Structure 1
Amino acid sequence: MAGKAPYIVPVGPIHPALKEPVHIELTVVGEEVISADFTPGQTHRGIEWMGLSRNPVQIVHLTDRICGICGVTHSLAFARAVEQIADITVPERGDYVRTIIAEFERIQSHLLWAGVAAHELGFDTLFYLAWRVREEAMDAIEVITGNRVNYDIIQIGGTRRDITEDQYDKIRKCLNTYKDLFSKLKKLFLEDAVIKSRCVGTGLLSFETAMAYSAVGPTSRASGVTADLRVDYPYCAYGDLDIKPIMPTIYGSDVNGDTYDRIVVRIFEVAQSVEIIETCLDNMPPGPVIWEEKVAKILSTCKKASGEAVGRHEAPRGEAVHYVAMDGAEAPISWKVKASSYSNLHVWPIILKGAQLADIPVIVASVDPCLSCTDRVAVTDNGSTKIFTKEQLAKMSYEKSRRMMQ
């Protein structure tokens, strides 16, 4: 590379290798990336701002729409925060139903990611297979919740729906399908020579860097960080389960923290989720699934509540956090969302440095980025960031809507 001048390669915000808009700027010498930076913000929708004019029961519907893949993630984290403030105890059966639907969400999310990763590697046959078998989980989710996305099953105090006996056979059929498929998926993703050559040693994220940048979920576990909220701080039914964080060593290999290790963790987490759901079905406790069936009473209790709390959930991409503050009014006085990808995206400049241009798509995809639940808004003018008040943002929004209508 001696004598070669660096040049800038922009990727995005709209690019075939990106499933959501984000701008990545690569400084390249020859085919090697010498530095990288990224700019999110293209899909900001102001959901937190909208929530501050709604009551907690209404906000649950909003949380389910923060992310099209992780609906339960945000509604569960938000509900857990409100339940702490309002001193609402979720019935044991409700906790089990929450756990089951959360693990089905993990399965379909990981399989969606596996398909995307295969596509970025040019292995479209595997992409189609991963997305076809993902349909089994989507069908099971539809059986339980009535919807394939935006499930709306979480309610303050429990769940809106129970899992009935006549649904068990359909759910178990789905689980058996994955148990039969696991060895095939493991062979295709982990033993294929092309995948190994493209993923082993690329996108390296060391244990120290993962800790320093507070990476979460499979991204951190692939680097040797034994952190899993379901194990470290059990909630819902996880306290009754004997589970351990999935690490790359489960496949008999050392921890390298590369793209290949991130594939290992997610593939084996699919098998772990199947076991968790089976255990929950076998040990499902009797009783109600919600603290109070009358929504009016739930809302009345929430309106009287004051205080602040943090709701956490180990989402498919890692720990998601919802901070809620209430003061006895109808709407919260504060609601802040920290999605898993908000932590993981910051390792991009680290794992992209030294990579070849051809490896950029799969390295970017290896952290399973989700932009819709990560984006925040920032307006810059001559290099300085402006902070707008709620009233100013509302006025600007109304003005833009009027311009669009004209």
Structure 2
Amino acid sequence: MADLDTSESAMEEESQTETAAPSISNFSSKLRAMVRIRRKYQVMKKRRAELGGELPRSGLLPRPTGPEIFTFDQLPVSGGSPRKRKKKKRNRVMFPNDGRRYLPAKERSRAKNCLFLLSIIVCVQVYNAIENLDDHLQRYDLEGLEKTLKREVFGQREAAESILELLSDYLSTYVHNKPLVISINGPSGVGKSHLGRILARHFRSVASEELVLQYFMLHHCPLEENAPHCAQELATRISDMVNRAEAEEKIPVFIFDEVEFMHSPLLEYLQGFFRANQTNEYLNAVYVLISNIGQAEITKFVLQNSSSNDSLGKQKLTQELGRQVKRSLVHYHPLWADTDVVPMWLLEKSHVMECFLDEMTREGFYPDTSHIERLAAEISYYTAGNREYSRNGCKQVVGKVNLL
């Protein structure tokens, strides 16, 4: 019904305008058409506004009061300070699930390949070096030597371990910058010469007879007037042996016993062989010096430290004793400045009994314990605390067994 009323009012207005048409005959036909179009447009706009409920049914549309020009000026907000604009959150750029991300390609450096190849070469060289160490040690059979020393040398465990350690470190490689010189020192009868014979016998069996020299001073050069000739002969023999060993790629062993009787020319010649600034064949050699020089210091030290029962404490005492004996040896002759000193302790009564048992077994006697104790009691001893140390070691054992 509202639509009909509005349409009737519009028709009435149009009829009124048509009646008033003669009054505006002055205008041209185009101007009248424009006026009619404008009025129809206003009527249609009003009708649409009423249908949408935005304007009341009666009245015309409000005319704009100002120019419709867009500006950046903010509208005044009633009731206080202007509101702060909320920052819009930027949406994260998400890659599609079915897509692939391609990172920028990095150029591979050739230096990494070279470094990897160098690491492989170093590992192979280290492995070969370890294998060569085992080959050298197996050639000289130091495990067999260790078993022999434990079985045949009594009361000198620390000295035997020191000698085996020095030989193992030196014989593990073939090329050296200096020869190995071991000085075995101790009082009479503690087993120095016996140890030297064991070393000579072992290296003759694993190397060869020509690469081992066992030199007894009182036997090979007893007279002092023959010392220069003995020195020349010894130098020639050492040169021949080191040249043979160089050709066979082995290490010769020289064992000098009774060094306390060695004359000055021989000591000077030996000191020349011990130096580091020599040709290669003279650098690869083992020298063993056996003497009783420093026996007074060893006897005094052992008696003062007889309370040490544990093996660790005795090992530390052995190292300290070695340093004291070396100072005495260097004072005796500068030859011992470049040597590794291995001191041998006094033998206790239990060790002397082991010497009797071993010697009686070798000679075919029945090892009666009471008989061995009776023979051991006939030997003189030092007394320190609750321990007894033999004054002459096992030197009298062979003679007493031969009297049985």
TM-score by length of 1: 0.23
Q: Which has the higher contact order (CA 8 A, sep 6+)?
A: 1
Asked which structure has the greater CA Rg, the reply is: 2
Structure with the larger strand share: 1
